[in-house]
Every structure is written in structure tokens, then in C-alpha cells.
């Protein structure tokens, strides 16, 4: 049961990154790909009806983590206190600026909002990547199962690292590049005209940086957290995951060259999903490794909730996520295809 919930929470994180990923990526790129009001409007409309729903995966995933692994939730959230607060503020700035631009006509104000929207999207992508890298690297768990991380120390992963060190910064940059590419491929599905042609030009550049950063991140991960290979070596068949990563990444560029935008977007979704699955598999069954000694790591069997909780949880979870999938299908189907020009609220 615990193993199942590990992967269910993993799936919700994947859903969050793949879905909110493209609207974060859109935010990262929008100042460049859309250069006048009409173009900006098109770009914002491509995510307008869906971004809020995408962000719900973060809340639903967080809630699921909370009840399935309360100790992990408690320890990680209090330990990453300051970076999480920054993430919260960024999420607020991003949500507000995105919605506000529909309501404010004045040029200068709109430019300010657009700038803040781009900046907060970029920083969020970096922070999310760095957060994941922190979980892979491990944190200085104390004997009572808690920790508190400073934002940075000497930029080296070690027994007492900071939230930011060279490894987590690398993770942040990789996330930023990958989500920008993901967003670009989304925009090439949704947009037309000058925006589309700028997007098409920028994809290969982004793809190149994603490829390089991915290649660098693999040996870096092995060096920082050698334990990630244990599961792979124990079950060599699972090397199919990194293989899939490589295939999806290549596929994204190949389909993009063929102008098959939807398939290219699918490949980049696959890339993001498999990168996360690969990381989860590397950690399993540890949930949060300790830099202060493996015996302090938070492991699945220590942190899992009671069987009854998980059992009931599974019943409503399947039902609820089934419904959510239905709503998402309806919503994405209604807004399928290229963005049509129409004003909000009819």
C-alpha cells in the first residue's frame, strides 16, 4: 500500500509539472515571443482558461502528500521554510499579474504586470527545479526528524548544504530550460502568425540547452547522490527510463522540425514525466535522504499513514482523480486548437 501511494503522489507531481509546466514556460517566454498587445493577448489567452486548474495539481498533490506521508510533509515543509515562502509569494505575484492584465488598460501598468509575470514564472521554474534537486541531494535531518536549511552556505553539497548549491542551481537551470521548451511547444500548438514563427525559431535553441543540461545533470546526480543508481543496478530493466528520456527529448526536436506541434508537445511532456519518474525511482524507498547519515533518512515505511487511512483514501482518490480527468478533458476539448480572438466573459 505504501509503495502504491509513493507512486500515486509521484503521478500527481508529474501531472503538476507537465500541466503547470507549460503555462510557467509560456510565462518565461512571453516577453520575447509576444511583442505587442495583440500578440500578448493571444499568448495569455492560450493559458487563460486552464492555468488555474493546472495549479490545482500542486494543491491536490500537496494535500495527498500531507495525508499519505504526514511526517515527510511536516519535516520538508518546515525545513524548506524560507524558500517555500518565496515560492508562495511568487505564485501570488504570478496569479495576480496574469489575471490583472485582463482588467487594466493603461500601457505602462500593463508593461509592469507583463514583466512581473515573466519574472515570477522564471523564478518559479528555477525554484521548483532547485527544490527537486534538494530532495535528491538530501537535507541535514536531525535526530528528531526535522531540519532547517539556510538559503545558501558555501555552494557545495555536503553534510550541511544550503537550499542553493551548485547542484541545486543546476537543477533550477535545467527546470527553467525544460519548462521554457515545454511552454514553447505548447505555444506552437496554440498560436499563429508572428508569435508562432518566433516560437518556431526559438525551440531549437531551447532544445539545445535542455539537452546539454540534461547530459550534465546525470553525472552530477551520480556524484552528489551515488545511491540513486542502486535501484537501477538491482533492476537493470529500469534503465529503460533514461532511455525513454533520451527518446522523448529527440522526438520533441524531430516532430518540431516536421511541424507536428502536438506530437512535439507530447514528447516534451514525456520527457518531463520520465525525468521525474527516473528521479523517484532513484530515491525509492527513501522519501527524503539525510546528509547527516543514512539512518536519519525519512523512509517510506516510517512516514506512511495507517492502513485504514490509505485504504479509504484510495477509494475516493480513484473516484476523484477520475472526475478531475473528465473535467480536464472537457475543458481542454472546449478550448482545443489555435487561440481564437474573443473577449473574456463573453
Partner 1 sequence: METGCRSGLVVASRGGGDEESNMNAEVMHRIQFAFTVTFHYLFPQLTMGLALLIVVLKTVALRTGDEHWNQAARFWARIFGINFVFGVVTGIPMEFEFGTNWAQFSRMTGGVIGQPLAMEGTFSFFLESAFLGLFLYGEKRLSRVWHWLSAVLVFLGSWLSGYFIIVTDAWMQHPVAYQINGRGQFEITSFVGLLTNPWAILQYMHNMCGAVITGAFVMAATGAFYLLEDRWHGFARIYLRVGIVAGVLASIAIIFPTGDLHGKYLARHQPASIAAMEGLFHTEKGAGLVLMGQPDENTGQIDNPIVVNSVLSFLIYGTTKAEVTGLDAFPRDQWPTTLPLLFYAYHIMAGLGTYFAAVMMLAAFLLWRDKLWTSRWMLWALLLSFPLPYIANTAGWMTAEIGRQPWLVYGLMRTGLGFSATVSASNTLFTLLGFMGMYALLAILFVVLIYREISNGPTPVSTTQNALAH
43-62 footprint of partner 1 as x/- string (CB under 8 A): -----xxx-xx-xx-xxxxx
Query: Among residue numbers 229 through 288, which ones bind partner 1 (CB under 8 A)?
Result: none
CB nearer to partner 1: pick between 55 and 196: 55
Closest distance to partner 1 from the beta carbon of 178 (Å):
23
Q: How wide is the angle at C-alpha 48 spanned by C-alphas 42 and 52, nearest 5°?
A: 160
| Nearer to partner 1 among residue 69 and residue 207 (C-beta) | 69
What residues from 55 to 114 belong to the interface with partner 1 (CB under 8 A)?
A: 55-56, 58-64, 66-71, 73-82, 84-85, 88-89, 91-92, 95-96, 99-100, 103
**Binders in 306-335 for partner 1, by CB under 8 A:** 306, 308-309, 312-313, 316-317, 320-321, 323-324, 327-328, 330-331, 334-335
| HSE-up of residue 124 (Cα within 13 Å, Cβ side) | 29
DSSP string, 246-307: HHHHHHHHHHHHTT-HHHHHHHHHHHHHHHHHHHHHHHTTEEE-BTT-GGGSEEHHHH---H
User: What residues from 162 to 221 belong to the interface with partner 1 (CB under 8 A)?
Assistant: none
Cβ at position 51, least distance to partner 1 in Å: 9
Conformational region of residue 259, where left means phi above 0, alpha means psi within -120 to 50, and beta covers everything else: left
Q: How far is the CB of 76 from partner 1 (least distance, A)?
A: 7
Q: How far apart are CA 53 and CA 58, in angstroms?
A: 10
159 touching partner 1, by CB under 8 A: no
Nearest residue (CB) to partner 1, 121 versus 217: 121
Q: What separation, in Å, do the N-terminal and C-terminal C-alpha atoms of the chain show?
A: 47
Q: How far is the CB of 156 from partner 1 (least distance, A)?
A: 22
Helices (H), 69-162: 70-79, 81-100, 107-137
Amino acid at each position: 500500500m505504501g509503495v502504491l501511494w509513493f507512486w500515486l503522489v509521484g503521478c500527481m507531481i508529474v501531472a503538476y509539472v507537465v500541466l503547470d509546466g507549460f503555462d510557467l514556460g509560456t510565462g518565461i517566454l512571453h516577453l520575447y515571443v509576444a511583442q505587442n498587445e495583440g500578440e500578448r493577448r493571444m499568448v495569455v489567452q492560450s493559458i487563460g482558461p486552464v492555468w488555474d486548474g493546472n495549479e490545482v495539481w500542486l494543491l491536490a498533490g500537496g494535500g495527498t502528500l500531507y495525508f499519505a506521508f504526514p511526517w515527510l510533509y511536516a519535516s520538508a515543509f518546515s525545513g524548506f521554510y524560507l524558500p517555500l515562502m518565496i515560492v508562495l509569494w511568487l505564485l501570488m505575484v504570478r496569479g495576480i499579474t496574469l489575471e490583472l492584465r485582463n482588467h487594466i488598460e493603461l500601457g505602462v501598468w500593463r508593461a509592469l504586470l507583463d514583466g512581473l509575470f515573466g519574472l515570477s514564472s522564471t523564478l518559479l521554474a528555477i525554484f521548483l527545479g532547485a527544490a527537486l534537486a534538494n530532495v535528491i541531494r538530501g537535507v541535514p535531518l536531525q535526530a528528531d526528524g526535522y531540519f532547517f536549511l539556510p538559503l545558501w552556505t558555501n555552494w557545495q553539497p555536503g553534510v550541511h548544504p544550503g537550499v542553493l548549491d551548485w547542484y541545486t542551481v543546476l537543477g533550477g537551470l535545467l527546470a527553467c530550460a525544460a519548462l521554457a521548451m515545454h511552454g514553447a511547444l505548447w505555444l506552437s500548438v496554440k498560436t499563429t502568425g508572428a508569435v508562432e514563427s518566433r516560437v518556431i525559431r526559438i525551440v531549437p535553441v531551447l532544445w539545445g540547452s535542455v539537452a546539454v543540461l540534461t547530459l550534465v545533470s546525470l553525472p552530477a546526480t551520480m556524484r552528489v547522490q551515488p545511491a540513486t543508481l542502486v535501484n537501477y543496478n538491482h533492476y537493470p530493466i529500469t534503465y529503460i527510463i533514461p532511455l525513454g528520456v533520451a527518446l522523448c527529448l529527440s522526438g520533441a526536436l524531430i516532430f518540431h522540425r516536421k511541424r507536428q506541434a502536438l506530437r512535439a508537445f507530447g514528447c516534451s511532456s514525456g520527457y518531463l514525466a520520465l525525468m521525474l519518474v527516473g528521479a523517484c525511482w532513484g530515491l525509492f524507498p527513501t522519501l527524503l535522504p539525510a546528509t547527516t547519515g543514512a539512518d536519519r533518512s525519512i523512509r517510506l515505511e516510517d512516514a506512511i499513514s495507517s492502513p485504514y487511512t490509505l485504504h479509504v483514501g484510495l477509494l475516493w482518490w480513484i473516484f476523484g482523480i477520475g472526475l478531475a480527468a473528465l473535467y480536464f478533458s472537457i475543458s481542454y476539448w472546449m478550448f482545443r486548437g489555435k487561440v481564437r480572438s474573443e473577449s473574456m466573459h463573453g
